[in-house]
Structure 1
Amino acid sequence: MATRAEPATTHADLVAAEDVLLFVNAAITSTGQREFHSGEHAQHMSLDFLHAYVRVNYRPLYAASLALDINDHNAALIVRHLLETAGEADAEQRRVEGRLIAARLARLPAPRVYRLFRALRAARVNNRRTRAIMRDWLAARPDPALDALKYRTGLKCTARHAHLPLTTRTGQEDDGELGDFLFAPGRRKHFTTPLLDAWRRAHYEQGALYELPFTVAEGFAARRGIDRRTFLERIAPRMTRLERLRLQESARTHRAEVGADLTGMPLTRLASYVLGLSLDDRVARRAELTGALRAAARRTAGGQAGTWGRVAAVLDDSFSATGSRQKRQRPLAVALACHFLLEALAGTYLPLWTSGRQDALLAYPYGATPLGMRLLDALESAPERLVIVSDGWDNAPPGLAGEVLRAWRTSLDPRGRTAVVHLNPVYDADDFAVRRLSASVPTAGVRNAEDLPALVQLARFAEGRTGLAELRAHLDDRVRRFLEDAGTGRGEAR
């Protein structure tokens, strides 16, 4: 996507930049699931409209958003819409889109990619480029036999749709063993691939199921009526790190030991795990949990640790941070993760929770949202940076936060000595945006605290003073680095 030099920022440029930023914020925060203030249907309708609007009016920028920190749900939607509407793009656009799609698919979880391929098949999208993308993605999979076991339906659908040869060894043709496993498993009495043969033996040999991946073995264990504690302890060596974390409470219930190591977990996922524990468990494991959260924050901060100077944060732990049944306590998990990351980034750090609590580890959703009062406390400390993590529903009293920020920016700090940014983890379906606190303060959507440093940079475009040329330059730079990191400069699907 080449950057065009523009002589001046026009009103149309500002509108275009605002439209694209509106979409990016939605693509970061919304997953089409129910939120505290809006239902699932409203989320879907609002998000579908934004995708269609930006794709039709700003297709190159729509594709370039694949290089940003958008969530997996929206990345898959963008890929699907680009492939479904390939006729709307010229040859150069299709070339760039092909590289971006290949790079983004390599980062998506395998189950989501297989669901995407099944959706493309249902939509009868079967052009040459789509088949090439499917072929190249499958060829890069590290263990085809593992995919055949864990994602059998998705792999079968993809192979049929794109007419792909199947092999159990990357880059080598075999005797059709993988194809037989998928389409005619009873044809062979023995598989030479150990994982496939373990699946065959698990039908009549109980010990063989412990050679399988956890998600596959779990089904066999349920059918055989194997004691849950026995199964968890014996299958533990086959679990992934995330499976161990997810099953910690189940293991405790059944008095099984699966030995999860928290020290290498991603920061936001670890924060979600901590919030899922009871307050008593958090107190009992305070040293372990706090140490793991701080270690994850230091890894995320990297070379920026301690470089942000004086930082104050206003963190929303009001009742609306409960989220929804599908996204349980997700807003609070983001706030907790941001708290530990800001602590690592700052030279000196002042955290202020809306509830007034002092102990972040014991956070839980409670009470109203007195953002205005907490902002007054934060600004009184004269920080160099003020970061607000909230869904933007200021209600104690309503509107005070916006007035505080307006007065601060226009009268008390017109030169911007304090950099203020609002990060919102919740998409407001009615407004097609993340809810803002004030027009004088930039707002960006956030889903994972790990993206906080990049989002603080992106948020400056949301102040309404930068046009399309500067935004394009920023996206061009992100696309270039994204493709360099992915290593898709050669041999990608066109």
Structure 2
Amino acid sequence: MTTGTTTGAEGRAGLVAAEDVLLFVNAAITATGQREFRTQAYRQRLSLDFLHAYVRVNYRRVYATSLALDINDHNAARIVRGLLEHAADASVEERRAEGALIAARLAKLPPQRVYRLFRELRAARVNNRRTRAIMRDWLAARPDAAHDAVKYRAGLKTAVRHAHLRLDGLGTGAAPDGELGAFLFRPGSLPRYAHRLLDAWRRAHYEQGAVGELPFTVAEGFAARHGMKREAFVERMVPRMTRLERLRTQGERADGPPDPPAGVDLTVMPLTRLALYVLSLGRQARARRREELTGALRAAARRAAGPHAGSWGRVAAVLDDSYSSSGSGEKRRRPLAVALACHFLLEALAAPGAYTPLWTTGTSDPLLVVPWGPTPLGTRVVDALEHGPDRLVIVSDGWDNAPPGLAGEVLRVWRARIDPDRRTAVVHVNPVYDADGFDVRRLSASVPTAGIRDAEDLPALVEIARFSEGRTGSAELYAYLDRRAARFTETGGAR
């Protein structure tokens, strides 16, 4: 990376720091420690272990500020644990800023992941005053401690023991005094519970009728214990299921989920999650429900675009639907789902009628896309640039192999010879972490690359990707991160 705004050793040090920061941000967005198409899980974990330790020690301020970015939940929990486990390395002022970021991020994380984090902190014997205060405040903000006692029993017990909390009045919808403690630590000591959910759990041990009053994941175990037929049980539990539970149970059918799940409004689903659902359907089901699915995807894309809708001018997209976009057993079709979601989002971001999508397989029907064939990115990039777009977005894992390296050479020549004034803004977003390179795979040094997990984050990622071009110094990057952190803590973690 080079820059015209920074010179000398100080400038080079600033650029190295900026590169390190962007390297970590890309990893924290895409890597989850799970197997990818080309990388085993253990290599991902080793790579992440190194990056977390390196950035925490050398750039602790950035490490904490990353909680305000669109990183995935796996890395957010790891950052929180790292900050709390090594609290002695931070100053009083740093700990105060970190506490606000941690509280805002925990409010955004799924409760099961937070309880898992609390168990890890207990196992690591992290029990300083700040850790206990963070656990206390998070538990106090939970909407119903009794619900958590039933659904996340082991996690809640661990947190209460570790933080030495009083159970009376815990949470905003607490059970009567004494009941929660008896339920968690002295089961069977009370003949009945005044709290409806706690008593339903007691009765479900011997009464089938009480099973339907419990959260779905808890009720599943009791249903199997009572020998209830799965199909009848699921139909009975639909009113008590979350949206994702309805989608999951609908997908249990051997022939796939051909019909919309009962009680699920697809038009309000998040864009990437909806794209994953669409790809879980067979091609015949997608074709039959074309109008419904396309309408839902476009509605989700318009919500994700928000104030940016229609503001990107002429947009061309190169979208990777090669065989490697099938992902892995742990992340099935995730890269392809990101590409499909980005397709509809870019359509919403472009000016009306000014969007050109180019899939690597040459398909013209995105709704029926399947992972197939090689990755001729170079050819598609040439086709896209011929349209003269204001902005070119490439969504791919970066493995250009038909022929290898053509995309990078096309982009290099385009930048150096044809468009040195950068009239066309080019950005590459990559949904797959490359453990061997400690980063997402890049196509060209002349094109900014950002990791992406959810298509909804695309506008923000395009903004941060500009820092990887080397035309701005580390001061601008740190100022941007500070602004994101301030907004994040003010809004309590809301997107």
**Cα 1:139–1:7 shift into 2, 3 Å:** farther
Counterpart code for 2:310: G
How far did residue 97 of structure 1 move? Answer: 0.7
Query: Does the CA-based 8 Å contact 1:145-1:168 persist in structure 2?
Result: no
Is 2:203 the partner of 1:197? no
How far did residue 258 of structure 1 move? Answer: 3.2
* Alignment of structure 1 residues 333-344 onto 2, 5 Å: 333-344=337-348
* Alignment of structure 1 residues 240-279 onto 2, 5 Å: 240-250=242-252, 258-279=262-283
Query: Does the CA-based 8 Å contact 1:144-1:167 persist in structure 2?
Result: no
Query: Does the CA-based 8 Å contact 2:64-2:83 persist in structure 1?
Result: yes
Structure-2 separation of matches of 1:442 and 1:390:
13
The equivalent position to 2:429 in structure 1, one of 423, 426, 429, is: 423
Q: Which moved more, 1:18-27 or 1:181-190?
A: 181-190
What is aligned with 2:3?
A: none
Query: Does the CA-based 8 Å contact 2:105-2:493 persist in structure 1?
Result: no
How far did residue 90 of structure 1 move? Answer: 0.8
How far did residue 174 of structure 1 move? Answer: 4.0
Give CA deviations for 1:27-56 in whole Å, capped at 9, x if unaligned. Answer: 000001011111001000001100000111
How far did residue 169 of structure 1 move? Answer: 6.0
What is aligned with 2:297?
A: 293
Give CA deviations for 1:428-461 in whole Å, capped at 9, x if unaligned. Answer: 0001110000000000000000100000000000
Counterpart code for 1:45: L
Give CA deviations for 1:212-240 in whole Å, capped at 9, x if unaligned. Answer: 11111111111111112211111100011
How far did residue 267 of structure 1 move? Answer: 0.5
What is aligned with 1:233?
A: 235
Structure-1 separation of matches of 2:133 and 2:390:
50
What is aligned with 1:22?
A: 23
SS at match of 1:187: coil
Query: Does the CA-based 8 Å contact 2:139-2:170 persist in structure 1?
Result: no
**Cα 1:364–1:32 shift into 2, 3 Å:** same
What is aligned with 1:386?
A: 392
Query: Does the CA-based 8 Å contact 1:314-1:353 persist in structure 2?
Result: yes
Is 2:367 the partner of 1:356? no
What is aligned with 1:58?
A: 59
Structure-1 separation of matches of 2:66 and 2:20:
13
The equivalent position to 1:324 in structure 2, one of 316, 324, 328, is: 328
Query: Does the CA-based 8 Å contact 1:355-1:366 persist in structure 2?
Result: yes
Query: Does the CA-based 8 Å contact 2:108-2:493 persist in structure 1?
Result: no
SS at match of 1:10: helix
Query: Does the CA-based 8 Å contact 1:143-1:168 persist in structure 2?
Result: no
Is 2:491 the partner of 1:485? yes
Query: Does the CA-based 8 Å contact 1:14-1:465 persist in structure 2?
Result: no
Is 2:473 the partner of 1:467? yes
What is aligned with 2:187?
A: 185
Is 2:281 the partner of 1:280? no
Structure-2 separation of matches of 1:458 and 1:358:
31
Query: Does the CA-based 8 Å contact 2:318-2:377 persist in structure 1?
Result: yes
Query: Does the CA-based 8 Å contact 1:166-1:173 persist in structure 2?
Result: no
Structure-1 separation of matches of 2:262 and 2:195:
28
Is 2:400 the partner of 1:400? no
What is aligned with 1:346?
A: 350
SS at match of 2:251: helix
How far did residue 251 of structure 1 move? Answer: 5.8
How far did residue 250 of structure 1 move? Answer: 2.5
Structure-1 separation of matches of 2:390 and 2:443:
20
Give CA deviations for 1:180-199 in whole Å, capped at 9, x if unaligned. Answer: 11111210111011111111
How far did residue 259 of structure 1 move? Answer: 3.5
Query: Does the CA-based 8 Å contact 2:239-2:263 persist in structure 1?
Result: no
Is 2:143 the partner of 1:139? no
Structure-2 separation of matches of 1:16 and 1:155:
40
What is aligned with 1:33?
A: 34
Structure-1 separation of matches of 2:168 and 2:449:
48
Counterpart code for 1:271: A
What is aligned with 1:492?
A: none
Query: Does the CA-based 8 Å contact 1:75-1:104 persist in structure 2?
Result: yes
Identical columns (%) = 71
* Gap regions ≥5 residues in structure 2: 1-5
* Alignment of structure 1 residues 68-147 onto 2, 5 Å: 68-147=69-148
* Number of residues of Structure 1 aligned to a counterpart in Structure 2: 483
Give CA deviations for 1:96-115 in whole Å, capped at 9, x if unaligned. Answer: 11111111111000010000
How far did residue 303 of structure 1 move? Answer: 1.9
Structure-2 separation of matches of 1:338 and 1:182:
45
Give CA deviations for 1:393-452 in whole Å, capped at 9, x if unaligned. Answer: 000000000010001111100000000000000010001110000000000000000100
Structure-2 separation of matches of 1:216 and 1:251:
21
**Cα 1:349–1:389 shift into 2, 3 Å:** same
Query: Does the CA-based 8 Å contact 1:233-1:258 persist in structure 2?
Result: no
Q: Which moved more, 1:455-464 or 1:249-258?
A: 249-258
**Cα 1:320–1:38 shift into 2, 3 Å:** same
Structure-2 separation of matches of 1:168 and 1:232:
34
Structure-2 separation of matches of 1:244 and 1:103:
29
Q: Which moved more, 1:299-308 or 1:243-252?
A: 243-252
Give CA deviations for 1:341-382 in whole Å, capped at 9, x if unaligned. Answer: 001111110000000001001111100000000000000000
Structure-1 separation of matches of 2:169 and 2:229:
33
Q: Which moved more, 1:242-251 or 1:423-432?
A: 242-251
* Gap regions ≥5 residues in structure 1: 1-5, 489-494
SS at match of 2:356: strand
How far did residue 280 of structure 1 move? Answer: 1.1
What is aligned with 1:224?
A: 226
Structure-2 separation of matches of 1:367 and 1:122:
46
How far did residue 252 of structure 1 move? Answer: 8.0
How far did residue 7 of structure 1 move? Answer: 10
Query: Does the CA-based 8 Å contact 2:169-2:177 persist in structure 1?
Result: no
**TM-score, structure 2 normalization:** 0.95
